[in-house]
C-alpha cells in the first residue's frame, strides 16, 4: 500500500526547564528532577508536541542512557546496603517494592530533552477498553501457537526419530521496546491508506496464508473476517507481502497518531546496558531487577491499577505485538536458510508464546548462541517421530 507523506502537525512549547540536581551516590553524574505531569483526557493532545531543548545543554544530553544505567547501578547498591548484603532480600525488595516505581522514574528522566511530549492519559478508544474486568479488549496481538504440519506428517513414517531443539529468544519484551509508538491521542482515519509516519491500531481484512513451513504473521487466529490489529502486526503483514508470501492486508479504518521509535529508546538502551553489565559481572541482583523493570513497564502501562503514572493500552498492545513480530522474523530467517541449503535440514518445527522457537537442524549456522538480546539460548532438546 502507498504511504502518505503528511507529517504530524507540530506545536512549539515555550522553552524552559528545571535545573537538574545532583544524582546521589554516583560520582560526577547529574540527573534532572522531573515533576509528574498528568495530561487529563480532556486536554490530551492529538498531534505530537515538539519540545524545546534543555536550557544550557544539548537536547537530551543530561539524561543519556549511561546516566540511567548509573541510576540503576546506584539503586542496586543501595538495596544491598539496606539489607546488609543479603542478595535474596535485596532482590525481593527491588522486585516487589521498587521495580515499577523506579522504571517509571527512569522513563520520565529519559524523556527530559526529548523531541516530543507524549500524552500520558489520552482518552481510551472503546476498542481498547476491556469488555469485562478480566477479559480482553478488541485488539488481536498476533500471538503465535503454531506447529509445522508438513514436518509432523513427514516424521511419522521416518525410520529414525528426529531431534528438535527449543530455542529461547533472550529478553523478548526488552527488545520489543524498540517499536513505533503513537505519541498523542489516537485519531480516526478511514482512508484505508497506511501512513508509516503514524502508528496505532487498525481494522483490517488479513490476507490468506498458504505456507505449511512458516507460521502466519497474524498468529493463531482462527476466526475469519476483519479484525483489529496493532501497528507491528500490520507492518509485518506488509513486510510478508513484499517478500511475496501473501497479498497486502486491506485496511478498513485506523486509529493513529504521529509516531516515533524514540519514545522509549533511551530507557531501552539503559536497561540493555545494565543487563549486559549484570551478566558480565555475575550480578544476579541487577539482572533480576532489570528484568522486573521492563516486564512491569510493559504489563502495567495499560489499564493496570498498580501504575498511575501512565495509561497507554495502545502501547501495551504494540509492545506485545512487536515481540511476536520479532519472533516471526527469527522463524523466517531460519526457514530461508533451510531453503537455501536443503542439505542442512534446517526447518522451523514450532513457534509459540513470545520467545520460543523449536527448530530442526544446526541452528548455530543461523543464530549466535549467548545471552544478549540479539542472541538465542538453548532451552532443551527432544526427539520426534520414528518407529
Cβ-based neighbours of 154, under 8 Å, separated by 6 or more: 385
Tens of pLDDT along 110-125? 998 777 788 888 999 9
pLDDT-derived band at 57 (thresholds 50, 70, 90) equals: very low
Using alpha carbons, select from 262, 320, 275 the residue that is nearest to residue 115.
262
Show contacts of 78-84: CB within 8 Å, 24+ apart.
78/25, 79/285, 79/289, 80/285
HSE-up (13 A, CA, CB side) for residue 233: 34
Mean pLDDT of the chain: 86
Q: How far apart are CA 3 and CA 215, in angstroms?
A: 27
Task: Inform me whether the pLDDT recorded for 3 exceeds 90.
Answer: no
- What is the pLDDT at residue 62? 53
| C-alpha dihedral (50, 54, 58, 60), degrees to nearest 10 | -70
Q: How far apart are CA 237 and CA 328, in angstroms?
A: 11
Tens of pLDDT along 27-54? 444 434 444 333 333 333 344 444 434 3
- What is the pLDDT at residue 387? 64
Tens of pLDDT along 184-227? 999 999 999 999 999 999 999 999 999 999 999 999 988 889 99
Q: How far apart are CA 108 and CA 337, in angstroms?
A: 42
Tens of pLDDT along 295-306? 999 999 998 889
- What is the pLDDT at residue 45? 38
Task: Inform me whether the pLDDT recorded for 17 exceeds 70.
Answer: no
Task: Inform me whether the pLDDT recorded for 14 exceeds 80.
Answer: no
Task: Inform me whether the pLDDT recorded for 5 exceeds 60.
Answer: no
Question: Which whole number is the average pLDDT over 67-73?
Answer: 97
Q: Kindly report which listed range (17-31, 66-80, 145-159) carries the lowest average pLDDT score.
A: 17-31
265-280 helix and 65-82 helix, angle to the nearest 10 degrees: 50
Tens of pLDDT along 20-32? 444 344 344 443 4
Show contacts of 130-137: CB within 8 Å, 24+ apart.
130/303, 137/313
99-111 helix and 284-300 helix, angle to the nearest 10 degrees: 70
Helix (H) or strand (E) run with residue 225 in it: none
Task: Inform me whether the pLDDT recorded for 91 exceeds 60.
Answer: yes
Q: Which residues of 252-265 are buried (b: 16+ CB within 10 A; e: fewer)?
A: eebbbbbbbebbbb
Residue 357, strand partner residues = 167, 351
| Radius of gyration in angstroms for the set of CA atoms belonging to the chain, rounded to a whole number | 23
Amino acid at each position: 500500500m502507498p504511504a502518505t507523506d503528511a507529517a504530524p502537525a507540530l506545536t512549539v512549547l515555550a522553552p524552559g526547564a528545571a535545573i537538574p540536581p545532583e544524582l546521589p551516590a554516583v560520582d560526577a553524574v547529574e540527573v534532572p528532577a522531573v515533576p509528574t505531569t498528568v495530561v487529563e483526557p480532556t486536554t490530551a493532545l492529538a498531534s505530537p508536541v515538539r519540545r524545546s531543548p534543555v536550557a544550557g545543554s544539548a537536547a537530551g544530553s543530561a539524561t543519556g542512557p549511561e546516566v540511567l544505567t548509573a541510576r540503576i547501578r546506584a539503586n542496586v547498591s543501595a538495596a544491598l546496603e539496606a539489607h546488609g548484603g543479603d542478595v535474596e532480600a535485596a532482590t525481593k525488595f527491588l522486585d516487589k517494592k521498587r521495580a515499577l516505581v523506579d522504571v517509571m522514574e527512569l522513563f520520565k528522566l529519559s524523556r527530559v530533552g526529548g523531541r516530543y511530549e507524549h500524552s500520558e492519559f489520552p482518552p481510551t478508544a472503546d476498542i481498547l477498553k476491556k469488555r469485562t474486568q478480566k477479559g480482553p479488549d478488541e485488539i488481536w496481538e498476533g500471538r503465535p501457537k503454531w506447529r509445522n504440519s508438513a514436518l509432523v506428517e513427514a516424521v511419522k513414517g521416518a525410520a529414525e526419530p528426529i531431534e528438535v531443539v527449543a530455542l529461547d529468544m533472550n529478553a523478548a519484551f526488552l527488545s520489543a521496546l524498540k517499536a513505533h509508538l503513537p505519541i498523542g491521542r489516537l485519531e480516526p482515519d478511514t482512508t484505508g491508506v497506511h501512513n508509516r509516519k503514524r502508528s496505532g491500531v487498525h481494522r483490517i481484512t488479513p490476507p490468506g496464508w498458504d505456507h505449511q513451513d512458516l507460521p502466519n504473521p497474524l498468529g493463531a487466529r482462527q476466526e475469519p473476517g476483519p479484525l483489529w490489529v496493532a501497528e507491528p502486526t500490520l507492518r509485518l503483514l506488509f513486510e510478508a507481502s513484499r517478500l511475496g508470501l501473501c497479498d497486502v492486508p486491506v485496511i478498513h479504518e485506523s486509529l493513529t497518531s504521529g509516531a516515533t521509535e524514540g519514545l522509549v529508546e533511551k530507557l531501552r538502551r539503559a536497561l540493555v546496558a545494565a543487563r549486559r553489565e549484570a551478566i558480565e559481572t555475575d550480578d544476579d541482583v541487577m539482572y533480576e531487577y532489570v528484568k522486573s523493570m521492563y516486564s512491569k513497564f510493559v504489563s502495567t502501562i495499560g489499564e493496570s491499577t498498580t501504575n498511575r503514572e501512565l495509561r497507554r493500552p495502545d502501547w501495551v498492545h504494540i509492545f506485545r505485538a512487536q515481540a511476536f513480530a520479532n519472533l516471526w522474523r527469527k522463524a523466517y530467517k531460519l526457514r530461508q536458510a533451510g531453503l537455501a541449503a536443503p542439505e542442512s535440514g534446517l526447518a522451523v518445527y514450532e513457534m509459540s508464546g513470545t520467545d520460543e522457537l523449536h527448530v530442526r537442524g544446526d541452528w548455530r549456522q543461523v543464530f549466535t548462541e549467548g545471552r544478549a538480546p540479539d542472541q538465542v539460548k538453548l532451552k532443551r532438546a527432544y526427539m520426534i517421530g520414528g518407529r
